[in-house]
Structure 1
Amino acid sequence: MNVIDVLPRDAIPSIDEPSFGSEYGGDPDDDVLVVDGDPPRAYPIRILNYHEIVNDEIDGRPIAVTWCPICGSAIVYDRIVDDRRLSFGVSGKLADDDLVLYDRETESEWKQSTGECIAGELAGERLTMRPGPMTTYEAFREDYPDGVVLQPEAGSDAAVQNYDSSGYDDYARGDGFGLSAMRGVGPDREWSRDDLEPKTVVLGIERDGEALGFPVPIVESAGGALEATVGDTDILVVSTDAGIHAFEEPGFSLRLDEGGRLVGDGTAWSVATGASGDGRRLRRVPAKRLYAFGWQDDHGPDAFYQLSA
Structure 2
Amino acid sequence: MRNGVLLILLCLMPFTVVGGTDRPVSPGSEGTLPVRPLAVPLAVPLETYQSSVVSGGPGRDGVPSIDEPRFLSGEDADRFLASDDIVFGVTLEGESRAYPRGILVWHEIVNDRIGDQTISITYCPLTGTVLGFERGSTTLGVSGQLVNSNLILYDRATKSLWPQILSTAISGPLKGKSLKSFPVVWTTWSQWQSLHPDTTVLSTNTGYTRNYFHDPYGGYHPKRGYYDTEAPPRFPVLHSDSILPPKEVVIGARTSSGAVAFHKESLGREKIMEGRLAAEPVIAVYDDRLGTAYIYQGPAASKATYRDGNLVFEGETYAPDALPLERLNAFEVMWFAWYGFFPETVLHR
Aligned pair in 2 of structure 1 residues 124, 147: CA closer, same or farther (>3 Å)?
same
- Per the TM alignment, residue 207 of structure 1 is displaced from its structure 2 partner at its CA by 2.9
Is the partner of 2:145 in helix, strand or coil? strand
Structural RMSD (CA)? 2.8
Gaps of 5+ in 1: 181-186
Matched residues in 2 for 1:96 and 1:244: separation?
A: 24
Q: Are the counterparts in 1 of residues 274 and 283 from structure 2 also a CA contact under 8 Å?
A: yes
Q: Are the counterparts in 2 of residues 102 and 109 from structure 1 also a CA contact under 8 Å?
A: yes
Which residue of structure 1 aligns with residue 42 of structure 2? none
Is the partner of 2:60 in helix, strand or coil? coil
Which residue of structure 1 aligns with residue 10 of structure 2? none
Is the partner of 2:192 in helix, strand or coil? helix
Which residue of structure 1 aligns with residue 202 of structure 2? 150
- Per the TM alignment, residue 236 of structure 1 is displaced from its structure 2 partner at its CA by 3.3
Tell me the matched-pair count.
283
Gaps of 5+ in 2: 1-48, 220-224
Q: Tell whether 2:225 aligns with 1:225.
A: no
TM-score, length-scaled by structure 1: 0.81
Q: Tell whether 2:104 aligns with 1:48.
A: yes
Aligned ranges for residues 1-309 of structure 1 at < 5 Å? 1=49, 2-5=52-55, 6-22=57-73, 23-24=76-77, 25-37=80-92, 38-80=94-136, 85-157=137-209, 160-165=210-215, 167-169=217-219, 170-173=225-228, 175-179=230-234, 192-193=241-242, 195-220=243-268, 223-230=270-277, 234-239=281-286, 242-248=290-296, 253-257=304-308, 261-264=309-312, 269-271=318-320, 274=321, 284-300=327-343, 302-306=344-348
TM-score, length-scaled by structure 2: 0.72
Q: Are the counterparts in 1 of residues 169 and 175 from structure 2 also a CA contact under 8 Å?
A: yes
Q: Are the counterparts in 2 of residues 75 and 289 from structure 1 also a CA contact under 8 Å?
A: no
**Counterpart residue type for residue 143 of structure 1:** L
Is the partner of 1:27 in helix, strand or coil? coil
Is the partner of 1:175 in helix, strand or coil? coil
Q: Provide Cα deviations, 1:121-171, integer angstroms capped at 9, x if missing partner.
A: 2211111221112111111001111111111143221xx143412633122
Is the partner of 1:35 in helix, strand or coil? strand
Over 4 Å off, 4+ runs: 187-192, 231-234, 249-252, 265-271, 280-284
Moved more, 98-107 or 234-243: 234-243
Moved more, 171-180 or 62-71: 171-180
Q: Are the counterparts in 2 of residues 235 and 246 from structure 1 also a CA contact under 8 Å?
A: no
Matched residues in 2 for 1:165 and 1:36: separation?
A: 26
**Counterpart residue type for residue 225 of structure 1:** I
Q: Are the counterparts in 1 of residues 249 and 333 from structure 2 also a CA contact under 8 Å?
A: yes
Aligned pair in 2 of structure 1 residues 152, 296: CA closer, same or farther (>3 Å)?
same
Q: Are the counterparts in 1 of residues 239 and 339 from structure 2 also a CA contact under 8 Å?
A: no
Q: Are the counterparts in 1 of residues 247 and 334 from structure 2 also a CA contact under 8 Å?
A: yes
Aligned pair in 2 of structure 1 residues 176, 215: CA closer, same or farther (>3 Å)?
same
Q: Are the counterparts in 2 of residues 33 and 134 from structure 1 also a CA contact under 8 Å?
A: yes
